[in-house]
């Protein structure tokens, strides 16, 4: 069973949790041995627009996951200054795929996962990310081994596509990504 | 105050509520006289993947809204066969903008809003929509006056862009749509 965790927190950007959540769940239409959970430090987190999302598990679930995805949003700023929060993660980029959207890259940096590699992030976050010594690239998706950062909400499609291809291969990736394209622009039904 | 209602229901497709929700809420960074509510027939609805979303109001709020957006999902099939549900809507396409994603077009058809005009929908829904006498087009977005249908999840970007342009003009539309583009592919910060 492949285990995917999406890390949410208070003041997350709605689309940066729910678009990856929807895309990752579509995989189950092709591969049943695939579990997706939204995890966090509370029983529910509230998005920046006020949408509550119940979590399916704790942050510690990330430590045994195959894929750990950090969402984005204003809430990342308090996480990176909270040592008790950060020390709950025991991630291993040799064994796990670890990725982020936009300001989620700050959490990767605070966890020491971006040492010596470049990353991408939302333009307003570039200076904060550089303050960790990270070289920031002006690209939608930056990949180094098992670590990937994406930026600009719709770049989630590229990022999740990359994760699916790396874990399950090209065919399932193409099926999932085609299933959300506009009619007449590549849409293929998956169900 | 412009009032936007997003109609949710049990077994909605996650991205078809939350992507429009996120895009519509970004408008408030430019125009404060803009209210967005998720409405439904229950205090909360559960998505097809099990995500609960509390509603902000009842279906009747649609009848005084400037924009009524019908989401998509497997749940639309029971709605169109429920006369008590349908009769709660008193919509007027002369005064209101009325739009749908994917199978949400079935609800528009069941409400008699697609008489004599064409529409688009998800490929698996074409026959059902045609059974209402609607001509189905193979396009991401079909617009007739104040009525618009879009299909293929990411076509929500085109649809919501069209709604914002029609209600608030080109500049705010371009700001909102640019704010979700991938880095290096048109992203412009709105906050």
What are A45-79's pLDDT values in tens digits? 999 999 999 999 999 999 999 999 999 999 999 99
Which residue on chain B is closest to A102 by alpha carbon?
A: B183
Closest-CA residue of chain B to A176: B153
Q: Check CB contact under 8 Å for A53 and B54.
A: no
Q: Rounded to a whole number, what is the distance in Å from the CA of B93 to chain A's nearest CA?
A: 24
pLDDT in tens, A23-47: 999 999 999 999 999 999 999 999 9
> What pLDDT score does A130 carry?
98
What is the average per-residue pLDDT within A6-14?
98
Residue A123 pLDDT class (50, 70, 90 cuts): very high
**pLDDT at residue B191 greater than cutoff 80:** no
How far, in Å, CA of A79 to CA of A63, rounded?
Answer: 17
pTM higher than 0.90, yes or no? yes
How close B52 gets to chain A, by Cα (Å)?
A: 7
Q: Judge whether B2 and B66 are in contact, CB under 8 Å.
A: yes
pLDDT at B190 (0 to 100): 84
**For B158, which of A22, A25, A182 is closest by C-beta distance?**
A182
Mean pLDDT to the nearest integer, B127-147? 98
Model pLDDT, residue A191: 72
Predicted complex ipTM: 0.97
**Residue B85: pLDDT band with limits 50, 70, 90:** very high
**Chain A CB within 8 Å of residue B1 CB:** no
Overall average pLDDT of the B146-152 stretch: 98
Distance from CA of B16 to the nearest CA of A (A): 9
DSSP string, B141-186: EEEETTEEEE-SGGGHHHHHHHHHHHHH-HHHHHHHHHTTSPTTTT
pLDDT digits (tens, 9 = 90+) for B155-179: 999 999 999 999 999 999 999 999 9
Q: State the pLDDT at residue B100.
A: 98
* A131-182 pLDDT tens trace: 999 999 999 999 999 999 999 999 999 999 999 999 999 999 999 999 999 9
Residue B33 vs residues A14, A44, B18, B28, B55: alpha-carbon distances, Å? 21, 29, 21, 8, 21
Residue-wise pLDDT for A105-118, tens only, equals 999 999 999 999 99
pLDDT at B59 over 90: yes
- Interface contact flag, B18 A19, Cβ < 8 Å: yes
pLDDT at A190: 84
Q: Residue B150 pLDDT > 90, yes or no? A: yes
Averaged pLDDT, B50-72: 98
């Amino acid at each position: 069973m492949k285990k995917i965790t999406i890390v949410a927190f208070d003041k997350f950007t709605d689309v940066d949790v729910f678009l990856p959540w929807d895309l990752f769940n579509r995989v189950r239409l092709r591969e049943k041995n695939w579990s997706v959970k939204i995890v966090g430090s509370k029983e529910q987190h509230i998005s920046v627009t006020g949408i509550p999302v119940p979590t399916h598990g704790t942050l510690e679930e990330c430590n045994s996951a195959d894929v750990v995805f950090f969402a984005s949003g204003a809430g990342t700023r308090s996480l990176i200054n909270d040592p008790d929060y950060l020390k709950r993660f025991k991630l291993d980029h040799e064994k796990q795929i670890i990725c982020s959207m936009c300001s989620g890259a700050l959490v990767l940096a605070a966890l020491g996962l971006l040492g010596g590699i470049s990353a991408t992030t939302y333009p307003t976050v570039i200076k904060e990310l550089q303050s960790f010594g990270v070289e920031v690239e002006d690209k939608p998706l930056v990949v180094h081994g098992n670590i990937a950062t994406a930026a600009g909400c719709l770049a989630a499609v590229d990022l999740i596509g990359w994760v699916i291809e790396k874990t399950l291969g090209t065919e399932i990736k193409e099926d999932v990504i085609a299933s959300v394209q506009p009619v007449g622009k590549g849409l293929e039904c998956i169900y």
